[in-house]
Amino acid sequence: MSKFSSVLTFVVLFLALTAGCAHTGSAQKSDSGATDTESAKAFPAPRPVSAAATTPAPGSFAPVVKKVLPSVVSISSTRVVKTAAPMLPFDDPFFRRFFGPGLNVPHEFKQKGLGSGVILKGNVVVTNNHVVDGADEIKVNTSDKREFKAKVVGTDAQSDLAVLRLEGNLTGLVPLDFGDSSHLQLGDVVLAVGYPFGVGETVTMGIVSGLRRSDLGIEQYENFIQTDAAINPGNSGGALVDMTGNLVGINTAILSQSGGYMGIGFAIPSEMAKPIVAALLAHGKVVRGYLGVSIQDLTPELAAALKLSGTSGVLVSGVAPDTPAAKAGIQRGDVILKINGESMNSSSQLRNVVAAAGSGAKVELEISRAGKTKTLTAELGELPATLGGATNNPSPSEGGPGTVSGLTLEPLTPDARNEYKIPASVTSGLVITGVQSDSPAGVAGLRPGDVVLEVNRKKVTTVGQFKSEWKKSTNQVLLLVQRGDGTMFLVLGK
């Protein structure tokens, strides 16, 4: 075939293939022999979006998100941080020529932080204390791209909550109502809403993985909801909502080895947050209730040593003088079973219930004492900033140091008091100055600086008294120990 014939054949084929793609008023044949109308039936064009197309699919969380999202805000804070002036290697004019006089002057820089918050009624926003702590300037951005300046109404570092007021035109703000977190159950579906890493509004889904989490060392007052909904830096202060869109928690912390989400997040429950927010709005601070007892959880070993029938309730290991507890008749060794009809299952729960009740509240306590149940009424005081009172230093007790079952003990002397910083309110007992780690004392958790006040419910002031009570016991002894400002019972095996 000649070159001319080849070119002519190519042109004919090209025209035949492109004829079906021409857009004219009449139907054209395609290279397959089908018309455009027939092709449209096989491959219909996309339909215009209609109202029906925006209806959420079954199981979608879109309606909940649509309700909640306008109420969750992004919070940016700015604080001025001062740093000390760097030290020059030599105080010499030659070096100052190159480095300048600014090296001898303290430097300032602005530190920025990001977090989230939730709009409550009016112009009130709740967030975490650590989001705004020490901030010189706070800005709040809403989901509709508006920006507000905000002022701190009050903060509570012990629960990590803060309340802000927005300034400016508040038209169109959408508040979110507190739900009742006490109705949450393990396995309930929840959504975490916030602004992690500054990427914008973000919604994650999970379940309630745990309830009443405490003793984590995150805050002084803990009663957390645990969830596996993804919570990351920037989510702090954001909303944890149930499937009705009610606010059941304020996202506050994560457990992580990397600094990012690892499946364990914590939120302050609404039942705890609601009264704290109300107190901050009313007084700018939180006034917590105070009973005046040292308390601890009951273990099977403690229950057996105290001859209790079970581990229900919270053990009273000490009662401070002239406190609501002392006035109500509570005694060391009592077990608090209920407060206002609510069963007490842990010392952290009791502490939270008393604190939340507030100063001046009258509470009914059901206690167990020597196998009998009693009901007492206490009028709570205000939790003082510092606990305990000072008394005169006691005279040295009789006797010298001694060792018993891995414990090195000595009388409470002024030197021992100073060395171990023992409170002046502790007027008698034996100071532990050494503990063998592999001994029964080490296993029991005793530490140098602890003060043994009682052995088997009898006061001891000499090592001889301790040894005497030790010999009388068969398998174990019950110790009452002062540690810092509090007292606790410990069981020491033989």
Tell me which residues are annotated as active site: 130, 160, 236
Q: Which residues of 412-441 are buried (b: 16+ CB within 10 A; e: fewer)?
A: beeebbeebebbeebeebbbbbebeeebbb
Cβ–Cβ < 8 Å for 481, 446: yes
Phi–psi pair at 357, nearest 5 degrees = -65, -35
337, containing H or E segment? strand 335-339
Euclidean distance between CA atoms 85 and 370, whole angstroms: 65
Count of C-beta atoms within a 10 Å radius of residue 69: 18
Count of C-beta atoms within a 10 Å radius of residue 277: 23
Q: Where are the alpha helices (DSSP H) in 428-462?
A: 440-444
Euclidean distance between CA atoms 108 and 111, whole angstroms: 10
Q: Concatenated DSSP letters for 56-125? A: PPTT--HHHHHHHGGGEEEEEEEEEEEEPPPPPSS--HHHHHHH-GGGGS-EEEEEEEEEEEEE-STTEE
Euclidean distance between CA atoms 286 and 196, whole angstroms: 29
